[in-house]
């Protein structure tokens, strides 16, 4: 079985490391991109099996926008090739309560949210669950 | 000016009243004349004819009836002063004619009725000016003289009072008698007129003085009342724009002038910026800031003087005299707004007419300005505090946000190592990393709480997001969240959330409400020992929702109570239960509740339990 490819798009190298290490340890091949544009280029080249996106990169909502573009319901979308790739969104939105975003098919077409700081075990479990 | 106007109006009112009085008296007078006619009819001894007396009496009766109808009509239709005046003259003239005729038919120079002229003179003096009274007196003397002279020369018949058999008195043709009586009659009337009208005039003058005095008192009392009202309204708010608007509106109303404005010194202290205005056109307001360098008027006012410009056309003190004239402003008075430590600006009243403002007005404007200065200074101070607080809040938000990211990454990195994804670690390394992770967790909690505190205090941002939120649902979610921890700890968690009247909508944000009750329920669960009970209840009061979070926990020591809601404060017994705590939870609760317009209170007994009560205003339909 070929190694599954995961693309991490996050501008924080340390954050990328915390995602990369557990996932590599369980056998995934990890690729990194640091911003919106790089993320798109890398996604085109690699055709990853799953993408992990940070919400805040160049702008406070760059991750949202990237996710929206890739999962656009528009059949003519220039990103339609990415439509089938599951996306996990990393959020740093402040939380002491449970009143947070939950994936919404219409509002935010992503498979899962992970709140930072990410627990490695939960990260691995979430990735496994959504990996095609 | 005031004085004369009001005394006149008083005299007019008096005239209306005296007309009625005249008419009432005349009923008696006509009855008297008719009685006299009856009397002479029954007494054969007299030469006085009864027929003219009957006729005159009936005439008096008839014209009095007419006057009474006219007076009633005038009263019903409001009656103009001149109408009453005309009516009074008409009555007076007819009465004097009647008395003159009566005198003629009752013996002329020897008529006992000549004395009755005295009443007429007194009445005339009471209600007319001395000039008019004298005119009536001379008319009487003239009529009397005419009768006397005509009878003397037998041109008019003489009617003797006593005509018994052949007994007749011819004194009416005795020159000495006639002259003496005539002279006494005339002198009596003239002196009487002089005395009565002088006295009456003096009384009238007094009356006018009293009236003017009462008017002044009324005006002063209105001014005091206005000052009082002004103080109350301008101090009823700390919102600068409201304070300024109250000031200009009140001033214009109380001084009964067209317009009023406030200009405040800008930061440079060289310009006066328009701050509030009442009664001036947009164009006039648009003339822009006043530069002190070009406005001698405002320079002088800012030196602490009250400056009255009685005629804008004649004044060289203004920067924009043409603007004022175009606006129709002819006079103005300006007073300085002086704070305790610095000059604030200028309060100005404008009038359409020249010479409008008296020295009383200057003093009054100065008093209002002094009152206003205090209110403005308070509002400015409050504004500064609010800005500072908002800046602080914004700073905390940005700062904590920046802190969260690295702290999160540190936590993740530690966890990655602890979870063994980077290879095996020995027990000592694990222990050290665990300790580091715990400290980082506390740091995260602190940052989150600081962020909550700053959010709870940000009224501007959250006000936009406020909407009617069903409190029942929010509370239910919070309670559900703590069901598992409570269960694990062996606590009973009760939820009473069905107050009569259904859903409790409060004007809030879901986040804010969640923040409040998450903190309270979390504390209750944390500080209640095993086997205890935590009870969350929602009730409706008059216009409020009342939420109680009660526990059977460790309680709060009395000495800790006053500090309970202070930032970073933790009660000693709470510390002993949980070593690490930010001490921000209850500060967050209080700030958020305050921001939602509610109240929070606490009752507690150490060792027995604690009950927090949060009261929030209900957002009923239409409010």
What region does B78 belong to: left with phi over 0, alpha with psi -120 to 50, or beta? left
pTM for this entry: 0.53
User: How many angstroms separate the Cα of B58 from the Cα of each of B35, B36, B97?
Assistant: 11, 12, 14
Q: How confident is the model at residue B49 (pLDDT cuts 50, 70, 90)?
A: confident
Question: Where do the structural domains in chain B lie, given as residue ranges?
Answer: 10-213, 237-386, 396-456, 463-622
* Of B564, B552, B546, B554, nearest in space to B602 by CA: B564
| pLDDT in the model for residue A60 | 62
Under a CB-based contact definition with an 8 Å cutoff, are residues B160 and B170 in contact? no
Tens of pLDDT, residues B327-368:
889 999 999 999 888 889 999 999 999 999 999 899 999 999
Lowest mean pLDDT segment, chosen from B398-402, B469-473, B563-567: B398-402
- CATH class, B463-622 region: alpha beta
- Whole-angstrom Cα distance, residue B344 to residue B408? 50
pLDDT > 70? residue A73: yes
Q: Note whether B56 and B26 are within 8 A (CB).
A: no
Question: Quick one: pLDDT at residue A132?
Answer: 65
The b/e string for B393-432 (b: 16+ C-beta within 10 A; e otherwise) is beebbeebeebbbebbbbbbbbbbbbbebeeeeeeeeeee
Q: Which one of B415, B422, B510 has the shortest CB-CB distance to A117?
A: B415
Q: What is the number of other CB atoms lying within 10 angstroms of the CB of residue B558?
A: 10
Average pLDDT over residues B410-429: 91
**Could you tell me the residue range of the domain that residue A38 belongs to?**
5-130
The residue with greater pLDDT, B602 or B511, is B602
Q: Is the ipTM of this complex over 0.85?
A: no
Q: What is the pLDDT of residues B199-221, one digit of tens each?
A: 888 888 898 899 889 888 888 88
Calculate helix-pair angle for B585-595, B427-456, nearest 10 degrees.
20
Two tokens at B490?
């062996």
Instruction: Report chain B residues whose CB lies below 8 A from the CB of A17.
Output: 413, 416
**pLDDT band with cut points at 50, 70 and 90 for residue B526:** very high
Please give the structure tokens belonging to residue B612: 């927090």
Q: Which of A21, A24, A94 sits opposite B448 (nearest CB)?
A: A94
Architecture of domain B237-386: 2-Layer Sandwich (3.30)
CATH of the domain at A71: 3.40.50.2300
| CA proximity to B527, closest of B475, B478, B486, B496 | B486
Q: B415 vs chain A: nearest CA distance in angstroms? A: 7
**Total count of domains within chain A:** 1
Q: What is the mean pLDDT of chain B?
A: 86
Q: pLDDT tens across B562-571, in order?
A: 999 988 888 8
Contact B514 A119 (CB under 8 A): no
Q: Which of A26, A99, A102 to mutate to test the interface with B (most CBs of B within 10 A)?
A: A99
Cβ-based contacts of B408 with chain A (< 8 Å): 15, 92, 116-117
**B444: which chain A residues are within 8 Å (Cβ-Cβ)?**
117
Centre a 10 Å sphere on the Cβ of residue B121 and count the other Cβ atoms it contains: 25
Question: What are the tens digits of pLDDT across the range A14-32?
Answer: 989 999 999 999 999 999 9
Q: Which positions in chain B touch A117 (Cβ < 8 Å)? A: 407-412, 415, 444
Neighboring chain B residues of A101 at a CB cutoff of 8 Å: none
Record: contact A121-B451, CB cut-off 8 A: no
Residues B457/B458/B463/B469 CA torsion (nearest 10 deg)? -50
Q: How far is A81 from chain B (nearest CA, A)?
A: 32
Tell me what pLDDT residue B189 has: 92
Give the C-alpha separation, B345 to B337, whole Å.
5
Q: Residue B16 and residue B92: Cα distance in Å, rounded?
A: 14
Q: Is the pLDDT of residue A100 over 50?
A: no
Q: Of A94, A116, A120, which is closest to B416 when you measure between CB atoms? A: A120
Identify all chain B residues contacting A98, using CB atoms and an 8 Å cutoff. Answer: 477, 481
Q: Is B515 on the interface with A (CB under 8 A)?
A: yes
């Amino acid at each position: 079985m070929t190694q599954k490819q995961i693309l991490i798009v996050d501008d924080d190298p340390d954050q990328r490391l915390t995602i990369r290490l557990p996932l590599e340890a369980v056998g995934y091949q990890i690729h990194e991109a640091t911003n919106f544009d790089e993320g798109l280029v890398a996604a085109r080249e690699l055709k990853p099996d799953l993408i992990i996106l940070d919400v805040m990169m160049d702008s406070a909502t760059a991750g949202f926008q990237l996710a929206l573009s890739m999962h656009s319901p528009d059949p003519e979308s220039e990103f339609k090739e990415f439509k089938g790739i599951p996306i996990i969104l990393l959020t740093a939105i402040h939380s002491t309560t449970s009143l947070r975003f939950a994936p919404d098919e219409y509002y935010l077409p992503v498979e899962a949210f992970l709140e930072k700081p990410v627990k490695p075990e939960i990260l691995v479990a979430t990735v496994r669950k959504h990996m095609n | 000016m005031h004085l004369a106007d009001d005394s006149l109006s008083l005299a007019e009112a008096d005239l209306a009243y005296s007309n009625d009085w005249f008419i009432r008296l005349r009923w008696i007078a006509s009855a008297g004349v008719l009685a006299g006619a009856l009397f002479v009819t029954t007494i054969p001894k007299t030469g006085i004819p009864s027929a003219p007396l009957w006729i005159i009496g009936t005439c008096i009766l008839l014209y009095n009836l007419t006057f009474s109808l006219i007076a009633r009509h005038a009263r019903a239709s409001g009656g103009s002063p001149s109408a009453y005046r005309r009516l009074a003259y008409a009555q007076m003239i007819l009465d004097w004619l009647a008395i003159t005729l009566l005198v003629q038919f009752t013996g002329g120079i020897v008529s006992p009725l000549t004395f009755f002229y005295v009443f007429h003179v007194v009445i005339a003096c009471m209600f007319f000016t001395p000039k008019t009274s004298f005119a009536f007196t001379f008319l009487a003397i003239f009529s009397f003289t005419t009768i006397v002279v005509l009878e003397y020369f037998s041109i008019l018949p003489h009617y003797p009072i006593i005509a018994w058999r052949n007994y007749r008195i011819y004194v009416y043709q005795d020159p000495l008698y006639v002259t003496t009586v005539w002279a006494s009659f005339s002198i009596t009337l003239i002196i009487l007129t002089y005395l009565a009208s002088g006295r009456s005039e003096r009384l009238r003058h007094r009356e006018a003085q009293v009236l003017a005095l009462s008017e002044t008192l009324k005006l002063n009392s209105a001014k005091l009342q206005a000052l009082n009202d002004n103080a109350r309204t301008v101090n009823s708010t700390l919102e600068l724009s409201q304070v300024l608007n109250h000031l200009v509106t009140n001033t214009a109303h109380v001084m009964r002038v067209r317009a009023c404005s406030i200009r405040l010194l800008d930061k440079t202290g060289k310009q006066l910026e328009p701050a509030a205005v009442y009664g001036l056109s947009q164009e006039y307001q648009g003339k822009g800031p006043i530069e002190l360098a070009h406005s001698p008027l405002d320079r002088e006012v800012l030196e602490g003087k009250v400056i009255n410009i009685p005629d804008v056309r004649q004044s060289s003190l203004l920067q924009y005299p043409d603007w004022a004239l175009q606006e129709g402003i002819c006079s103005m008075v300006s007073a300085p707004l002086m704070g305790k430590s610095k000059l604030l600006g200028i309060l100005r009243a404008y009038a359409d007419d020249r010479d409008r403002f008296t020295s009383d007005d200057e003093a009054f404007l100065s008093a209002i300005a002094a009152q206003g200065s205090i209110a403005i200074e308070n509002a400015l101070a409050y504004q500064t505090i609010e800005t500072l607080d908002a800046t602080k809040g914004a700073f905390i938000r940005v700062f904590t946000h920046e802190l969260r990211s690295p702290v999160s990454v540190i936590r993740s990195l530690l966890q990655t190592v602890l979870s063994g994804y980077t290879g095996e670690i020995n027990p000592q390394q694990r222990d050290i990393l665990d300790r580091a992770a715990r400290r980082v967790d506390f740091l995260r909690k602190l940052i989150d709480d600081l962020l909550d505190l700053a959010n709870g205090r940000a009224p501007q941002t959250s006000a936009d997001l406020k909407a009617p939120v069903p409190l029942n649902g929010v509370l239910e979610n919070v309670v559900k969240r703590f069901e598992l921890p409570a269960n694990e700890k062996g606590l009973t968690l009760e939820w009473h959330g069905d107050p009569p009247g259904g859903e409790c909508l409060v004007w809030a944000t879901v986040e804010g409400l969640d923040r409040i009750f998450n903190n309270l329920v979390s504390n209750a669960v944390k500080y209640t020992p095993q086997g205890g009970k935590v009870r969350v209840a929602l009730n409706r009061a008059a216009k409020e929702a009342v939420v109680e979070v009660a526990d059977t926990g460790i309680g709060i020591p009395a000495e800790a109570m006053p500090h309970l809601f202070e930032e970073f404060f933790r009660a000693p017994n709470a510390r002993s239960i949980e070593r690490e705590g930010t001490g921000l939870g209850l500060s967050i609760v209080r700030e958020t509740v305050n921001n939602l317009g509610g109240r929070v209170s606490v009752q507690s007994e150490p060792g027995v339990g604690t009950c927090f009560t949060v009261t929030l205003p209900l957002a009923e339909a239409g409010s």
